[in-house]
Amino acid sequence: MVERNTFRLMLLILGVVFAFLYIPISVLVGLSFNEGGLPTAWTGFSVKWYGALLENDDILQAAGNTLVVAVFSTVLSTILGSLLAVGVEIRRRNGKWLETIIFAPMIIPDIVLAIALLSFFSLLGVAMGLHTIIVSHVVFNLAFVCAVVRARLKSFDWSIVEASADLGASTFTTLRRVVLPVLMPAIMAGSLLGFTLSVDEFIIAFFTAGAGRSSITLPMQIFAMIRFGVTPEINALATVVMAVSVVALALSQRLNRGGLPGQ
């Protein structure tokens, strides 16, 4: 009897926590389809607010910038992060300082890295724009790619590398023909994760974008819009951004059945 009551209590807790987690975003998604656009009354299903997004030049420009930043930073961090992961795992015995440096980008608070990069770029006299956002995003992205690829390498059978070398393959050939195919799912998963993180990243982009509207990204645009209050357009935009993240994450999970990074 006690067991059954405990189980019911557990279900209740799960219900409350999941409601807390999902009601706010569900309301947002629901309202984005409300024809009238106001939270006060449901006036019918409509996608007109999504249409409005496509006619808003500011949003389109920001979306374009975000895509450029995400694609370039993802490509760079995928290459750097994967190589780093393979190197670190071959080496095995890595000093504590090395592990700390590789792990640091994931735990350094965004604001610290953001102001550090802002001061760095301005003291060097670097003109800021999309390029500075890209190189800054690579810093944390490569750490995440590296973590995902390393997780995969933990279960990697290194004897096939030795076999490949014994059969006369050069190091490069072994990497390309033996290691890379095995790692491909993890590399893809890591790069998708990096892509999501870059699309969503706000603080570092905000500090390293420089002045002016030309290098504004989607999160920066959303931040600017939110400060003026609730509009049905933001609801629609927020839903789109959320959908992109969820799809990319789901794909990443499917490719790499090793669980969520950080686990």
Partner 1 sequence: MTSDRRPLILMTPALLWLFGLMVVPCVLILALAFFRRGIYGGIEYTLTFENIALVFDPLYFHIFMKSAGIAGLSAAIACVLGYAAAYAIAAMPRRHQPMLLFFAVLPFWSNYLVRTYAWIVLLNREGLIVNLARWIGYQGELPSMLYTESAVVVGLVYNYLPFVILSCYAPLSRLNPDIAEASRDLGASGWTTFRRVTLPMSLPGIATGFVFVFVLSIGNFVTPALLGGGQFQMIGNLVYAQFLTANDWPFGAALSMVLILVMLGLLMLQAVVAERASGGKGQDG
The four Cα atoms 100, 183, 174, 171 give a dihedral, to 10 degrees, of -20
**Min. distance of Cβ 256 from partner 1 in angstroms?**
13
**Min. distance of Cβ 79 from partner 1 in angstroms?**
8
CB nearer partner 1, residue 42 or residue 64? 42
**Min. distance of Cβ 21 from partner 1 in angstroms?**
5
- Under 8 Å between Cβ of 62 and 213: no
Of 242, 138, 229, nearest to 191 by C-alpha is: 138
**Min. distance of Cβ 68 from partner 1 in angstroms?**
18
Q: CA-to-CA distance for 101 and 98, rounded, in angstroms? A: 5
CB nearer partner 1, residue 185 or residue 207? 207
DSSP-assigned letters across all residues of 86-148: HHHHHH----HHHHHHHHHHHHS-HHHHHHHHHHHHHHHTPPPSHHHHHHHHHHHHHHHHHHH
CB nearer partner 1, residue 9 or residue 47? 9
Q: CA-to-CA distance for 122 and 246, rounded, in angstroms? A: 35
Q: CA-to-CA distance for 91 and 97, rounded, in angstroms? A: 14
CB nearer partner 1, residue 86 or residue 185? 86
CB nearer partner 1, residue 67 or residue 116? 116
- Under 8 Å between Cβ of 223 and 206: yes
Q: CA-to-CA distance for 13 and 24, rounded, in angstroms? A: 18
Q: CA-to-CA distance for 144 and 105, rounded, in angstroms? A: 9
**Min. distance of Cβ 27 from partner 1 in angstroms?**
6
**Min. distance of Cβ 249 from partner 1 in angstroms?**
5
**Min. distance of Cβ 244 from partner 1 in angstroms?**
9
- Under 8 Å between Cβ of 204 and 114: yes
CB nearer partner 1, residue 52 or residue 135? 135
CB nearer partner 1, residue 102 or residue 185? 102
